Structure 1
Amino acid sequence: MAHINKVIKSINLDGELICTDIFQRPDGSYGFDEFRRDPEDGRGWYSIGHYGEQVFTDAEAAIAAAKTQIHWLQDKID
């Protein structure tokens, strides 16, 4: 299945095994999710946060919500 959301910001935790993506959906709404990848597993990134269903009207609101729900993100985004 093709990814239909456009990632507008991706923030990696040190080590680049965990990241948070802020994205825009085709309908213009925004969201975020937290992902992990394991180098020994060739399947790539998979959701560990399961926040992707939340809907925000703009990127700033999605970023603010992500910072409250993903503890390590507060130190990575101003």
Structure 2
Amino acid sequence: MTAPKPLVVASLEDDTGDRCVDIIQRGDADFTYAECRRDPEDSHGWRRLSAADGPSFKTQFAAYSAAIRDIPWLID
């Protein structure tokens, strides 16, 4: 049996629309976050700046709290 695909449960975008943080549920048990950026001149779309296999948190709120702590622009 294969593990469920990671699911983005929330995406927090900055005021410019060029950066975001995805809160990701991995399987049924844990959450993490990944910072992303989008360059307007690049048609690729969003690119992750951090891996989705980062730190593991038991709740979505814990992942969100860690992202606020670790990514300065989220609290600006």
Fold in common (TM above 0.5): yes
Secondary structure of residue in 2 paired with 1:56? coil
Give the share of equivalent positions with the same residue, in percent: 38
- The reply on whether 1:32 has 2:33 as its aligned counterpart is yes
Query: For the pair shown, which has the larger CA radius of gyration, 1 or 2?
Result: 2
Number of aligned residue pairs: give it.
Answer: 71
- Could you tell me which runs of 5 or more consecutive residues in structure 2 were left unpaired when the two chains were aligned: none
- Could you tell me which runs of 5 or more consecutive residues in structure 1 were left unpaired when the two chains were aligned: none
1:39, CA displacement in angstroms? 1.7
Q: Map Cα deviations across residues 10-33 of structure 1 (whole Å, 9 max, x no partner).
A: 111011110011110124210001
Aligned CA RMSD, in angstroms, stands at 1.4
Q: Which has the higher strand share?
A: 2
Please report the TM-score for the alignment, with normalisation by the length of structure 1: 0.80
Matches of residues 55-74 of structure 1 in structure 2 within 5 Å? 55-74=56-75
Which structure 1 residue ranges, 4+ long, deviate > 2 Å from structure 2? none
